[in-house]
Amino acid sequence: MNCDIDKTVPSGFGPEHRIEVFGTLGPKCADAEILLRMLREGMDGIRLNMSHGGLEEKRSWISLYREAAAKAGKPAGLMIDLQGPELRIGSLFAPVNLSEGEKCLLYFQGNSGVQGNSGVQDNSGIQGNSGIQTHSNPPDSSGIRDDTDSRKDALFSTDIDYQDASFESAETASLMKNDNEASTSIIHMPALPLPGTLSGILSPGDRLLIDDGKILLKAEGPLAPSKTVCGGRAVPFVAEVLRGGRVQGKKNLKLEGKDVPPLPALTGQDYRNIALFPEYGVTAVMQPFVRGKEDIRDLRRALKEAGSSHVRIFAKIENRMGMEKLPEIMEEADMIVIARGDLGNDMPLWDLPAAQMRISEACRACGKPFLVVTEMLSSMRFNSIPTRAEVSDIFHAVRDGASAVMATNETAEGMYPVEVIRYLRKTSDAACGIIP
């Protein structure tokens, strides 16, 4: 796609141009009255993050959203954000708090590529090789899960240093270390599950970014220094916390400066969700970590087979590969998404604004609509008004030609979802020259 870049006039910009405003559906706004207020404040559609589960699990939320849209007299635009080829930490029964300077244990879930199966089962029920079995009880009628008997137990027998590792709770590993022949000591440390695909890739000195880089870990080495495999299982790694915080399950993960084996554009879970699009009235889909036109074509084929060819495809640009392949991605996608969270993990943060500018210019030159997302109103998770920098960010994204803006955690988990939409709408309208 050959396009001449016009750096002065945003595509479709003017008083008649109305920006699409999206929120994200989550526990803090899964209420018919709150959703109705968000729609009346100017929300055009809502995103549902499917990296954590299936559409069936969110049936009640979707019903509440449809109810609110009907009362507001607006279309119930529903955008599904697929799982895609993104690395994520595994499920946690409870958030893990990591403090700078402390040690944590990184263990590998699922199929790690290690020969031999030790009867591992993770939350998905897939057999793997980590030596860990998770017992998960379903929630009762109140929606509360009884985890009194839910434990992660693992045994890594080695003849080096650590003789036993047992996961006593959802977030703590207890390690029995032989200090000498006469005594032992118990060491407790937080434990995080990693994808099994990293078991043969993670090396001492590697840095891992979690949750859009909010958490930074440095791998020190295997639990048993002389071994990478023990009893057919990948030996866990000990890591140092360089930048701490609260870690929740299924958050994105980046292994800094290393490539991982290519993963399919769509996961099994993605295909299962796509098959349900007609039933749930899905109108748009976000495809993570798009690496080229073939990823988009795979998704289009899946949509066609599911009877959802009309569903708009939003291609998320989340790394340098996506930026390099942007011309061919623009040919296939309906809209480009400048997803600044993972994109900011793939480069120094001070290079991110220039990357956003280059993508914006390329889209504008080709007349391709684009959406800007990530931390647009991050402070409003806890505050009822945004910072001056945040409203300036929204304003300039629209002035640079964005056709849409989106809030994620701000509405899904934040305390002021209605106010978030109000500021997104009013700032976007101000940038377009629209006077309420």
- DSSP secondary structure of 50-107: -TTS-GGGGHHHHHHHHHHHHHHTS--EEEEE--TT--B----SS-EEE-TT-EEEEE
Q: Which residue range forms the structural domain that includes residue 172? A: 96-255
Q: How far is CA 20 from the centre of its chain?
A: 22
- One domain, residues 33 and 110: no
pLDDT at 17: 62
Q: Is residue 233 part of a domain?
A: yes
- One domain, residues 314 and 212: no
Residue 10 clears pLDDT 60, i.e. is over it: no
pLDDT at 356: 97
CA angle 318–319–325, rounded 5-degree value: 100
Distance CA 316, CA 319 (A): 9
Q: Is residue 10 part of a domain?
A: no
CATH number of the domain residue 301 falls in: 3.20.20.60
Task: Out of 216, 240, 255, pick the residue that ends a domain.
Answer: 255
Residue 270 near residue 298, CB atoms below 8 Å: no
pLDDT at 200: 83
- One domain, residues 195 and 288: no
In the structure, what pLDDT confidence band is assigned to residue 110 with cuts at 50, 70 and 90? low
Distance CA 257, CA 315 (A): 23
Q: Is residue 48 part of a domain?
A: yes
- One domain, residues 172 and 121: yes
Distance CA 26, CA 154 (A): 33
- One domain, residues 169 and 278: no
Average pLDDT, the chain: 80
How many other C-beta atoms are found inside a 10 Å radius of the C-beta of residue 338?
26
Mean pLDDT throughout 163-183?
43
Q: Is residue 159 part of a domain?
A: yes
Q: Of how many residues is the chain composed?
A: 436
- One domain, residues 248 and 395: no
- One domain, residues 376 and 420: yes
Distance CA 298, CA 305 (A): 11
In the structure, what pLDDT confidence band is assigned to residue 155 with cuts at 50, 70 and 90? very low
Q: Which residues, including other chains, have CB under 8 Å from residue 198's CB and lie 6 or more apart?
A: 87, 108, 255, 260
- One domain, residues 313 and 205: no
Task: Out of 236, 255, 274, pick the residue that ends a domain.
Answer: 255
Q: Is residue 210 part of a domain?
A: yes
Structural domain tally of the chain?
A: 2
- One domain, residues 182 and 291: no
Short-list 292, 181, 156, 159, CA closest to 236 = 156
Place of tokens 């990530």: 374
336 φψ region: left (φ > 0), alpha (ψ -120 to 50), beta (else): beta
pLDDT at 164: 37
- One domain, residues 217 and 302: no
Task: Please write down the HEC assignment for all residues of 311-370.
Answer: CEEEEEECCHHHHHCHHHHHHHCCEEEEEHHHHHHCCCHHHHHHHHHHHHHHHHHHCCCE
Q: Is residue 386 part of a domain?
A: yes
Q: Which residues, including other chains, have CB under 8 Å from residue 242's CB and lie 6 or more apart?
A: 100, 207, 216, 217, 218
pLDDT at 112: 35
Task: Out of 203, 235, 255, pick the residue that ends a domain.
Answer: 255
Q: In the numeric block, which tokens belong to residue 434?
A: 């629209």
- One domain, residues 331 and 354: yes
- One domain, residues 419 and 286: yes
Q: Is residue 335 part of a domain?
A: yes
Short-list 121, 36, 111, 79, CA closest to 311 = 79
Q: Higher-confidence residue: 134 or 194?
A: 194
Q: In the numeric block, which tokens belong to residue 388?
A: 């001056």
Q: Is residue 4 part of a domain?
A: no
Residue 335: strand pairing partners: 314
pLDDT at 186: 52
Q: What is the pLDDT of residues 37-81, one digit of tens each?
A: 999 999 999 999 998 779 999 999 999 999 999 999 999 999 999
